[in-house]
Structure 1
Amino acid sequence: MASVFIDGEAGTTGLGIRDRLARHPRVSVRSIASEDRKNPAAKLELMREVDLVVLCLPDEASKETVRLAAELGGDAPKILDASTAHRVAPDWTYGFAELAEGQDEAIRRAKHVANPGCYATGAIALLRPLVDAGLVAPDFPLTINAVSGYSGGGKSMIEAYDSGTAPSFELYGLGLDHKHLPEVMAYARLTRRPIFVPSVGNFHQGMLVSIPLHLDELPGRPDVAALGEALATRYAQGDHVVFAEATEPRIEAESLNDTNRMELRVYGNTAHRQAVLVAKLDNLGKGASAAAVQNLELMLGLA
């Protein structure tokens, strides 16, 4: 049995990870006493005893825990950080196993892995294969739109929606400085900052990320089929990320809830030379807790 300590297990992501690991036949979860959660000595002693620590903390608290673990030297556990703190740090491995060939092996070898953001997971999955194939230029002026279930907004947002005091739908991040943009740029290999407009709807979980494209503005003026072929080829061997045919005229956000699966589609109009890329995932699944379990299994040699 591998042993795991979830630092911040009472939050939405932490609870999701703990629930999944409670059913895992090869992982045991260690917890710290509630009165010791802010006791560095107690936390250090527990980290000395486990194989891996998952950080479900605010950014600064995550950084502090990483510094604390470093005091253990060679006895330090592996660390999987679910916060934003280390996603573009040069000495951390990005925990999106489907990013490119060999990324899963890099996660297996890593001591420190950063779990991706939910919106970033969808955007990078759609864009990275197209940039690698030369179908989208790194400096292309992209717009990324997305809608998430309200569970991604934390306890206060969940309470507002559950009590019926929140609006049915709202845009946010309108300062155009969302915390997921640095990782989208870094791992989709973009050199121009996209315009990202996230939103939240009155449903608990589920997510759609969509990216509209004018085909005549892309390198080589590809058709809709070429975009689909690039995505289908990249994810042909995938279990968790798959290319799906865009056969239905509408797409809803919730059918992949409670899974570690993401579906990618390309919708288009040949006559108008326009396309829209769409990723569907569970913001609490492939966008958070289920992706974390996938990563820790790789890091612990269980997958």
Structure 2
Amino acid sequence: MSSPLVFIDGDQGTTGLQIHERLRDRTDLRLFTLPAAERKDPRRRAEAINACDIAILCLPDDAARKAVDAIVNPAVRVIDASSAHRTHPDWTYGFPEMTPGQPERIANAHRVTNPGCYPTGAIGLLRPLLQAGLMPGSYPVSIHAVSGYSGRGRAGVEEHEGPGSVNARAYQVYGLELAHKHTPEIQRHAELTQRPLFVPAYGAFRQGIVLTVPLELRLLAPGVDGAALHACLARHYDGMAHVRVSPLEESRAVKHLDPQVLNGTNDMNLSVFLNQEHGHVLLSAVFDNLGKGASGAAVQNLDLMLAH
């Protein structure tokens, strides 16, 4: 029996390139991409996606929808790295650590939507707390995140690494219309009943994310404190290979968060910072926007699907 054929559609962008890099030396699968002359040929792309076992789509949203529409072979399985299907009820959300049973759901799925980079951190922090009843779904959640410039795709890389890089901005807050496309994804999969306030930014480093969520204990149920929030996260992620929760003692010694510390990995580190005197808690997630936030997550989902 031949090894599974994996087709990467759109392997020229930042996510696709890293997925190809992570898979190219694998001997348990056959990796396939289209040559440059055929990448924009709809007929050739349709042939390729219908001939593979699993397709990984690294495309703009509209192109990803068209690629899925071109599938007529019922045996073809899909991992979509775009945001086209992240809130679609018929697609399985590809965040294995999100909830018990999610790895099995991904393994059995025909259509898996890869999480967004920012939502991976936000949902990773919030979903366990809401599931445990430690936070109400109506909590007024505010999320701030800073990503490396590769989060902008090739345009960000060109700005910071191309001929005009001397003029690249060191830091930029964006999404000021407060309607970032990741917000509905965060609300749905964190199980928030109210839309969160999400403010993203880019820094002058290639990749990596620090995402933070501030909480006020006075808005939580009586008796819920920072230690209880930390214990909930620690229980939820206990024994998981790619998500670590820093012990409270370790977090107390931390003076800064480095967005680049997990670059090149598929890992995410969660922390809880406490100020009991003021009743304030800060939740944080640190991970690689091109790792656990994109290509690493896609490969993790692929491995789950290949094992089924």
**1:233 partnered with 2:235:** yes
SS in 2 for 1:61: helix
SS in 1 for 2:70: helix
Match of 1:297 in 2: 303
- Structure 1 contact 21–28 (Cα < 8 Å) conserved: no
CA distance in 1, matches of 2:222, 2:67: 48
Match of 1:140 in 2: 139
CA distance in 2, matches of 1:44, 1:249: 52
**1:91 partnered with 2:90:** yes
CA distance in 2, matches of 1:91, 1:103: 15
Deviations 1:172-204 (A, max 9, x none): 011101111111111100011111010111111
Match of 2:215 in 1: 213
The alpha-carbon deviation at position 221 of structure 1 amounts to 4.5
Match of 2:151 in 1: 152
CA distance in 2, matches of 1:144, 1:290: 23
The one of 228, 251, 257 aligned to 1:251: 257
Match of 2:60 in 1: 58
The alpha-carbon deviation at position 225 of structure 1 amounts to 0.5
**1:130 partnered with 2:129:** yes
Report the aligned-residue RMSD.
1.1
Deviations 1:182-233 (A, max 9, x none): 1111110001111101011111111011000111111224111111000000
CA distance in 1, matches of 2:64, 2:297: 18
Letter in 2 for 1:295: N
Match of 2:182 in 1: 180
Could you tell which deviates more after superposition, 100-109 or 293-302?
293-302
| TM-score normalized by the length of structure 1 | 0.96
CA distance in 2, matches of 1:158, 1:42: 29
The one of 14, 17, 21 aligned to 2:16: 14
CA distance in 2, matches of 1:226, 1:110: 34
Deviations 1:77-112 (A, max 9, x none): 101000000001011000000010000000000000
CA distance in 2, matches of 1:109, 1:55: 18
- Structure 1 contact 150–200 (Cα < 8 Å) conserved: yes
CA distance in 1, matches of 2:232, 2:197: 23
Any residues of structure 2 matched to 1:193-212 within 5 Å, and which? 193-212=195-214
What is the count of residue pairs matched by the alignment? 299
Any residues of structure 2 matched to 1:154-173 within 5 Å, and which? 154-162=153-161, 163-173=165-175
The alpha-carbon deviation at position 25 of structure 1 amounts to 2.8
Identity %: 46
Letter in 2 for 1:206: G
**1:67 partnered with 2:69:** yes
Match of 1:271 in 2: 277
Any residues of structure 2 matched to 1:20-31 within 5 Å, and which? 20-31=22-33
Q: Note the residue ranges of structure 1 that are not aligned, 5 or more in a row.
A: none
Letter in 2 for 1:85: A
Could you tell which deviates more after superposition, 137-146 or 26-35?
26-35
| TM-score normalized by the length of structure 2 | 0.95
CA distance in 2, matches of 1:107, 1:259: 21
CA distance in 1, matches of 2:243, 2:76: 29
